Structure formats: structure tokens, C-alpha cells
Amino acid sequence: MPKIPEKDLLILLKQGNSKAYTYLYDQCFPAISRYIRQNSGNMQDAGDIFQEAVLILLEKLRSSDFVLTASMSTYLFAIARNLWLKQLRENKYRLASAELPELPEEQEQESPYLHHLPGWLGKITSYCQQLLTAIFFKNTPINTLMHKMGWKNKHTAAQQRYKCLMQIKNISAKESLKWGD
């Protein structure tokens, strides 16, 4: 396909010209796809993100006060990159906020790490002691904790929980606890 000047491409996209969309795909999709696949994604993710990025671009183009200050491909890549990073953060939050599997009562009693837990809790920061106790022992809802701790959103709550769990993990690793002992 012959090169379309950026100015003309903008006009054609605003008009809904299918050749302009094909050109945009040919020019921009390979870089976006490569970025997403290099960052934990697959071709399906790349296609979904690209479509969403194009929709956002079109919405921006139709705005009367929009001024494109970068090349079309750079701008579209930036939109796609931000969408992908947002999706990765949301997926990480979903993974981090997933409940720990419940062990059957008899397995809990046999589990070798449970008797170490009070000692580990005593070695982490008081902030983390309060947070982990509220989450795991008092089953405090995350929305209640968000309000009490002054967090802006659930992502922040998940990050704080993760940091505190990492303190426990680091302490247990330092003590070289072997699960079978």
C-alpha cells in the first residue's frame, strides 16, 4: 500500500475510510503486537489491545480540541502500551487479591509452618502486623481497610498486602525453614 501522509491519514480516519484503517493496521500493528508479546501477552491480546487503541484514537480525533503532537504510529503505540500496562496491573491485582486456598482442618494441624507464624508476625513491621491480622484473622473487608488506611483504591490495598506478605516470606526464608521438617 502506498504511503499516506499523516495529515491525509487523519482526515481519512475521521471519515471512516477503510483503506485508512488498513494502512494504520499495516503500519502500527506489528510494533504493538511485538511489544505485547514481549510483555506477557499473546496475539489475541495484541489484537484486542490494538482495536481498543484505535477506538480511543478515533474518539480523540473526533474531538474538536484534539491536536496530534506526535506521529500517528507513536501516539497509537502509546495508547496501546498504556492499555496493556493497565491490563497487566489489573491481572496482577486479581492474582494478588485471590483468596488463599483453605486447608482442611486436619491438614492445618499437620502443616509445619503454622507454629512459626506467630514468630514471623512478631518480626515484621507493626503496620504489616495490623494489616495482615485484619485481612487474614479478622476477615476485614478490603473496602473497610481502604477507608481506615486512607488508600485510594483496591490496587493500593493489594500492593500493601503483597509487601507485607513479602516481609513474612523473607523472614521465613532467612530462617531456612524446610516445609518437611
SS3 annotation, the chain: CCCCCHHHHHHHHHHCCHHHHHHHHHHHHHHHHHHHHHCCCCHHHHHHHHHHHHHHHHHHHHCCCCCCCCCHHHHHHHHHHHHHHHHHHHHHHHHHHCCCCCCCHHHHHHCCCHHHHHHHHHCCCHHHHHHHHHHHHCCCCHHHHHHHHCCCCHHHHHHHHHHHHHHHHHHHHHCCCCCCC
Q: How far apart are CA 50 and CA 81, in angstroms?
A: 10
Domain count, the chain: 2
What integer pLDDT is reported at residue 154 of this predicted model? Answer: 81
The domain in which residue 28 lies consists of 6-97
- Determine, yes or no, domain membership for 179: no
Same domain as 72, residue 17: yes
Same domain as 13, residue 34: yes
What integer pLDDT is reported at residue 58 of this predicted model? Answer: 87
Question: Per residue of the chain (181 residues), what is the pLDDT tens digit?
Answer: 678 888 888 888 888 888 888 898 999 999 999 999 998 888 999 999 999 999 888 888 888 888 888 888 899 999 999 999 888 877 765 544 443 334 444 444 444 555 566 677 778 888 888 888 888 777 888 888 888 888 888 888 888 888 888 888 887 777 654 444 4
What integer pLDDT is reported at residue 34 of this predicted model? Answer: 93
Same domain as 23, residue 92: yes
In angstroms, how far is CA 84 from the centroid of its own chain?
8
Same domain as 91, residue 13: yes
Which residue, of 44, 70, 97, is where some domain finishes? 97
Same domain as 144, residue 67: no
Which residue, of 97, 120, 149, is where some domain finishes? 97
What integer pLDDT is reported at residue 175 of this predicted model? Answer: 66
Total-model pTM: 0.52
Same domain as 115, residue 170: yes
What integer pLDDT is reported at residue 117 of this predicted model? Answer: 67
- Determine, yes or no, domain membership for 128: yes
